[in-house]
């Protein structure tokens, strides 16, 4: 930050960065939530092939869902390198515009009944573009927010990124739930499902205005004005090793997040035969639990460290995933009991999502932070979030075992606990570019 700025100006810049960084994530996760919550309707409109079972259509829908995640790492590399070289601000503006347009375009696609096989191909193509641009969003947004954060508040500032993810998921679930109440099932299937995608346009316009009016981060400016010889030598192998460790650390966050917050409505409908509106209500409650713990967890990690908070959450998931799922499966469980269960599950995921962004930012120096943390996060999401619906639904179809979601979360928890234990206890106290 320029030395002539007064404390009030610095605080104002920090607030603008926090809002501008958060809003793009809100739109991104709003859209991903909408697609996940509308999976059964999208399956009928685009992936219900003649002679195939309904579950096959859902699996194809999730295949389209998953493929977008596999283009996130490419987006993280392409836009991450741009963001590390020319700045966070211009890069975040570009990815926001493109992501918004790709989202709105999904609402315009004719169905399979109208144009045949072109329909699922077009929607999959747009999902690929969304994945590409979303991959360039996360690393930049977290870099922006943590690089503006005051000393001792990186956990809090990073947690706002995750909190807007929760808001996006809640907004997506809320819009779909509202439409399902206002419209008949026939209207939802025919045209109502398109409305949530069109809503991305006004949201994107507001986000664009906020990003155009924000400043470049002081950490990036300092790094660009340093003499080249004073900067630490870049080491590709060390960076790749750090990225792999980052993937392992956030693996359970990715897997449990999508299992409990996005995939759960379709699992409840297709495997436990829960009604559409009830499944959506349960999804909203799980996301409320998620939202409730994110900011407190980020703040707590500024006090006691990222490792303590995140290991505690991963251990809870390891121990509770199976018992919680069994309560949902129990036909005698009331809606209230199921709501409490998914609220708890969402809250535990929030304990990971709060400190997670700051933890990733602290793993990389400024010169590769946009690329490094974006790639670690997007690769983890590509495999363990994007494929969650595909893996869980596919394994249930093959084995008939309804406990698959819990075993999936538990397996990833074991890996993440091991990786998180390698965190230093004082990482939250370091300056971002201190030697690691």
In the three-class reduction of DSSP (H, G, I as helix; E, B as strand; rest coil), residue 163 is classed as: helix
Is residue 267's pLDDT more than 80?
no
Whether residue 31 lies inside any domain: the answer is: yes
For residue 262, give the DSSP letter: I
Domain assignment present for residue 129? The answer is yes
Question: Is 434 a domain residue?
Answer: no
The answer to the question of residue 2 being in a domain is no
Longest Cα pair distance anywhere in the chain, in angstroms?
Answer: 70
pLDDT digits (tens, 9 = 90+) for 284-313: 888 899 999 999 999 999 999 999 999 999
Taking only the tens place, the pLDDT of each residue in 65-98 is 778 778 989 999 999 999 999 999 999 999 999 9
Question: pLDDT value at position 282?
Answer: 79
Three-state secondary structure call for residue 422:
coil
In a domain, 189, yes or no: yes
Give the model confidence (pLDDT) of 211-235 as tens digits: 988 888 888 888 877 654 444 445 7
pLDDT band at 55 (very low <50, low <70, confident <90, very high): low
Residues of the domain holding 214: 10-223+235-429
**The CATH number of the domain where 392 resides is what?**
1.20.1250.20
- State the pLDDT at residue 53: 60
Please tell me the total count of domains within the chain.
1
Q: Average pLDDT, stretch 132-154?
A: 89
Q: Of the ranges 118-127, 269-278, 321-330, 354-363, which one carries the lowest mean pLDDT score?
A: 269-278
C-alpha distances in Å from residue 201, one per residue of 179, 194, 196: 18, 13, 10
DSSP 260: I
**Residue 211, CA distances (Å) to 92, 95, 205, 337 in order:** 8, 11, 10, 42
337 is a domain residue: yes
Reported as a single tens digit per residue, the pLDDT across 322-362 is: 998 888 888 787 888 888 888 999 999 999 999 999 999 99
Q: Over the range 158-194, which residues count as b (16 or more CB within 10 Å of their CB) and which as e?
A: bbbbbbbbbbbbbbbbbbbbebbeebeeeebbeebbb
The string of DSSP letters for 22-62 reads HHHHHHHHHHHHHHHHTHHHHIIIII--TT--HHHHHHHHH
What's the average model confidence in pLDDT over 384-396?
Answer: 78
* Residue whose structure tokens are 């193509």: 125
Lookup result for tokens 């900067």: 231
User: Is 82 within a domain?
Assistant: yes
Q: For position 266, what pLDDT does the model report? A: 66
**C-alpha span between 101 and 225 (Å, rounded):** 35
Q: How far apart are CA 238 and CA 244, in angstroms?
A: 10
């Amino acid at each position: 930050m320029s030395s002539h700025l007064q404390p009030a100006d610095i605080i104002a810049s920090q607030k603008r960065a926090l809002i501008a960084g958060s809003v793009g994530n809100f739109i991104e996760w709003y859209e991903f939530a909408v697609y996940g919550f509308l999976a059964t309707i999208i399956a009928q409109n685009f992936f219900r092939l003649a002679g195939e079972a309904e579950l096959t259509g859902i699996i194809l829908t999730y295949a389209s869902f998953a493929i977008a995640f596999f283009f996130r790492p490419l987006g993280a590399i392409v836009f991450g390198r741009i963001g590390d070289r020319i700045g966070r601000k211009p890069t975040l503006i570009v990815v926001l515009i493109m992501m918004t347009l790709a989202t709105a375009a999904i609402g315009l696609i004719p169905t399979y009944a109208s144009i045949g096989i072109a329909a699922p191909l077009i929607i999959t193509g747009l999902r690929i573009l969304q994945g590409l641009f979303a991959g360039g969003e996360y690393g930049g947004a977290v870099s922006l927010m943590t690089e503006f954060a005051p000393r001792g508040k990186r956990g809090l500032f990073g947690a706002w990124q995750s909190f807007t993810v929760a808001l996006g998921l809640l907004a997506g679930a809320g819009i779909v739930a509202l439409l399902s109440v206002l419209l008949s099932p026939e209207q939802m299937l025919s045209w109502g499902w398109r409305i949530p995608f069109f809503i991305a346009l006004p949201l994107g316009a507001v986000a664009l205005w906020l990003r155009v009016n924000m400043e470049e981060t002081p950490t990036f400016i300092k790094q660009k004005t340093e003499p080249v010889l004073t900067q630490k030598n870049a080491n590709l192998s060390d960076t790749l090793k750090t990225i792999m460790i980052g993937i392992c650390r956030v693996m359970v966050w990715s897997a449990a997040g999508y299992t409990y917050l996005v995939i759960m409505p379709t699992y409840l409908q297709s495997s436990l035969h829960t009604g559409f509106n009830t499944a959506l209500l349960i999804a909203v409650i799980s996301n409320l639990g998620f939202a409730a713990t994110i900011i407190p967890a980020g703040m707590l990690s500024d006090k006691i460290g990222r490792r303590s908070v995140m290991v505690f959450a991963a251990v809870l998931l390891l121990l509770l995933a199976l018992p919680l799922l069994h309560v949902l499966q129990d036909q005698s469980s009331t809606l209230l009991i199921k709501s409490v269960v998914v609220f708890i599950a969402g809250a535990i995921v929030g304990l990971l999502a709060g400190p997670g962004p700051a933890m990733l930012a602290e793993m990389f120096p400024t010169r590769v932070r946009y690329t490094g943390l974006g790639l670690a996060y997007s690769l983890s999401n590509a495999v363990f979030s994007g494929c969650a619906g595909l893996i869980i639904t596919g394994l249930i179809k093959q084995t008939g075992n309804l406990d698959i979601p819990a075993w999936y979360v538990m397996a990833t928890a074991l890996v993440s606990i091991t990786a998180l234990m390698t965190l230093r206890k004082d990482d939250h106290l370091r300056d971002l570019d201190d030697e690691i």
